[in-house]
Amino acid sequence: MKIRKIITHVEETRTENGVPVEPPVRVAVVLAVIENPWRGEGYVEDLSSVIDDVAPQLGALLAPLAVEALGRPVEAYGKAAIVGLGGEVEQGSGLIHTLKFGNFFRDAANATTLLPAVEKVAPAGASFDIPLKHITDATIRSHHQSIEVRVSDAPRADEIVIGLAAASSGRPKARLAPLSSER
């Protein structure tokens, strides 16, 4: 695995529509810009050997960085992949949609739910919204949220951007009724 750069983005919401948010809501995103391990190979039928090698390395690297960047216990989380124009969406999906990647984040966050995800093929500088959900109960509406991120010079055609997002709570000032209240 060849990493060109790692980007850490942290935002903290202190007010929402003029109302103070106490404690402030933090969301952290850690992105790795890697060389696409399938670059130049064209269509590859069996992606498993590369997935088995690269996905655990990415999970082991990014999960602790995301938790550390958040600086608080994780209540919501998500993952993402953007493949450069020289690749295909299945390559990014293969790297993030495996327990060999996701279990590192689940363990680091003390989580049990599936990680929500987004993946696409796009040029450098494309933005993407990483979806987040509660770490132990995906039906908790307050934690259904997303964070928009982009890397101005990535992914290049032969790269993939892999990301993890963590939030310290649900949306600031969330006030929707629980899902269980609907019939």
Angle, CA of 103, 108 and 111, to the nearest 5°: 70
pLDDT at 29: 98
Query: 73 vs 41, which has greater pLDDT?
Result: 73
Q: How confident is the model at residue 8 (pLDDT cuts 50, 70, 90)?
A: very high
Q: In degrees to the nearest 10, what's the CA dihedral of 163, 169, 171, 177?
A: 130
Structure tokens that stand for 20 in this block: 């103070």
**pLDDT(177) > 80:** no
Lowest-pLDDT range, 34-43, 114-123, 152-161?
A: 34-43
Residue with tokens 């060109």: 4
Residue of 55, 47, 129 lying closest to 88 (CA atoms): 47
pTM of the model: 0.94
Average pLDDT (150-156) is 98
Domain architecture of the chain: domains with CATH: 3-12+22-38+47-173 (3.30.1330.110)
Mean pLDDT of 148-160: 97
Report the chain's mean pLDDT, rounded to a whole number: 95
Gap between the Cα atoms of 86 and 83, Å rounded: 8
